[in-house]
Amino acid sequence: MAKKRITEIDIIKGVGILTIAAVHLIYRTESGLANHIFRALGWLLIGLFFMLSGYTYSTGKRTVRQSCNARLRYLLFPAAITEIILLIVGGLYCMLFHGYALSDCLHDALVTFLRPELCVLISEEWGQGGFLYNNLSPSWFIWSMLWTELIFIPTAEWCGKGDLKVRGCISAFVLTAVQIPIYMFVSPLPWLLQLVPLFTVFMLMGMLLHESGLFKCEWRYNAALTALISFLGFAASVGVFSLGGDNYFNGYVGVYGNGIDILLPIIQLVPGIIAFYALAKLILRVHILSDGIIWIGRHTLTFLMCHCFFAMIAADMMKTYNRMGEVWYLEDAGLTLTPEIFWKSVAGYVIAVICCISVCIAKDTVAKKQ
């Protein structure tokens, strides 16, 4: 039997993936408050997606091997097929409109799957992805989650053989203790693999959250108080990020100089999940809005993999600046943020979302016929 979906989780995922697309595609200045908030929410959502993946995991249902096989089929195969299709279609597009040769397509495909951190070992030039790679780079999250699953599943099964809360807390504490020296002394690895222990902690937090029964509790607050709870949660999460949030994802020793700031993303996640949960309860009050966001939340993988690809084409159509890749900000490109550039980026965002919706509808139609 299929698992019963939790509506609030689908809403959180839907809002989350739309926010991540906005972080990637809407132009802003690097030093502005909007960019700080966007980045804080973007990194928060990475932890949140890991947490929700841990929340939906059930211990004791299958063996470790069976669980790993199931997760690989569910996560790796669709992601790999999608990535290959995007590389083929995108390669042809870049050959037609960006002067790519076949060797450029193959190079960007290799950098996409191995990441620059490994390709740079071949040569400095090989470590630099091109235009196509820059617009497929969100795929790192899929592969990072894959490796995290391989640590999380046996850990979760061990936790399920005893007092789950006690063993879960012990596992989270041990993994955090392991993460600190790795964070301090290991250079950034492909797919952010140096943060796999931290990502596993996020998933364990989700498993413990499931044990607490948060999503099963009846929400009794009125709309005004729910909105206030959500706002305060987001404000607290952004505030924690301000203490050195960019450091841990870049592999830098942060504000304390001893790796203790690796605790910041764990702390940030607590008010973050409360904020998104309260927001989900607000959205549920508006059925027209909630139905659409729930649908998007159930197609998160497609949106994650494809939104930058479609935005690349939209940016070409509008002849505007494309901010994916190494040149993230207008200042880096020697440009100034103008109303025209900003609104074109908003238009590109909307086009990308519409294209992703179209792909999801097509996939659903094919699936129903089969």
pTM of the model: 0.92
**Closest to 20 in 3D by CA, of 357, 352, 361, 294:** 352
Q: Is residue 277 part of a domain?
A: no
Domain total for the chain? 1
Confirm whether 21 is domain-assigned.
Answer: no
Q: What is the share, in percent, of the chain residues with pLDDT greater than 70?
A: 95
In a domain, 45, yes or no: yes
Query: Which tens digit of pLDDT belongs to each residue from 239-284?
Result: 999 887 777 666 554 444 456 678 888 999 999 999 999 999 999 9
Residue 40, domain member (yes or no): yes
Task: Give me the domain span that covers residue 50.
Answer: 29-270
Rounded (10°) angle between helices 196-212 and 164-185? 160
CA dihedral (265, 269, 275, 276) positive or negative: positive
**Residue among 8, 41, 4 nearest 283 (CA):** 8
pLDDT of 142 reads 84
Asked if the structure places residue 290 within a domain, the reply is: no
88 in a domain, yes or no?
Answer: yes
Domain assignment present for residue 262? The answer is yes
Structure confidence by residue, pLDDT tens digits, 113-123: 888 878 887 87
Q: Give me 288's structure tokens.
A: 């027209």
* Domain annotation covers residue 327: no
